[in-house]
Chain A
Amino acid sequence: MKILPPRTRPPRIPIRRRHEPKPTRAWAQYRACLRWDFGFTCAFCLLHEADFFAGQTGEGLGVTTVEHAITRKADSSRAGDYSNCLYACRFCNRSRSARPRESNGARLLDPTRDAWSEHFVATGDELRPVAGDRDAHYTHRSYELDDPRKVERRRLRRELITDRLNLLSRFSEEIEDLLHLADLLRNRDLRLFGKVMRQIRTLRDDAERARRDLRRFGALPPDAPEKCRCGSNRYHFLPEAFERQMIDLKIRSDLSR
């Protein structure tokens, strides 16, 4: 199982659209394609669906939305144009509202054309615009990329995943040592041996709970769509921009012993 990284770094390449859904004016029908194309991640603030739903199903609740690069207010004829649709969280969508693509010589950046890493830097739990980059500043302000709600969600994910991964990566070694020492005790003090085994078992239970916490941040949500408007599942995998950041959560056999 792959899980999210403690912190999603701004992608080094623009997000490439792979899906080609049949055109429709009902843009909500692009959602399945958009979710796969954008890796279930808000294209702007980089919050993943798991940051909102914690491993539960959340589709249809309106927390993630279809954002129009050219707003419907500016050009309603582009509303059903897939190339004009982006996957965004509700916070980003609401923050921008109907702000124009260009204002005072600055333009909104497009995650499918601009590499986010060239314009934003992940600093702590914030996504700061590169100094002097007017477009990045305008985008940052329009989408409120460091809205306190987003920063808090980033922080919680980072702290939880870092803590649990740290535990799991060292835990098997610790358990091995403890079992070895307990084995030495077995023939000498049976009562102490039983007490130690009980403690080891408690530790193993803790590790299992840590794994359950980590599963909340699966890279693929439990309701990842099997069908989309393309009619093909050829591109039902994460985009390259995010895939390389994911962590493979190998469940070590020695932990479940």
Chain B
Amino acid sequence: MATDRLSLVFGALADPTRRAILARLAAGEATVADLAAPFSMSQPAVSKHLKVLEQAGLISRNRRATARLSRLEAEPLREVTTWLARYQRFWNESHERLDDLLAALQAGQEQDPCPGPVATAKGNDDEQD
């Protein structure tokens, strides 16, 4: 996944109007007039947003008869969610381990109110390998 593409996608998603346009396109293809209708916005202003979305690869546009139709492209969104999913997994796994540790510490505390030695991991302690 190219990071610059990710930046384009995030930039495109940063605007609430563009997110609303994407949400509308999730329901199906639409013309500029269709998309402009819910907003108090001119068609040229909507076209500008469509251009940003198109550059990010989030939509494609094609012409049918005289109307130009915009359509949602799901792949960049998938990349964004995949990007976050990795980070999510890192922290999920860390926090699950922390859950286990906290449970073990609390179980130990019931028997011994002062568990574990004071940490001395400062500096250069040589481990076995």
A binds B: no
Please list the residues of chain A having a beta carbon within 8 angstroms of any beta carbon in chain B: none
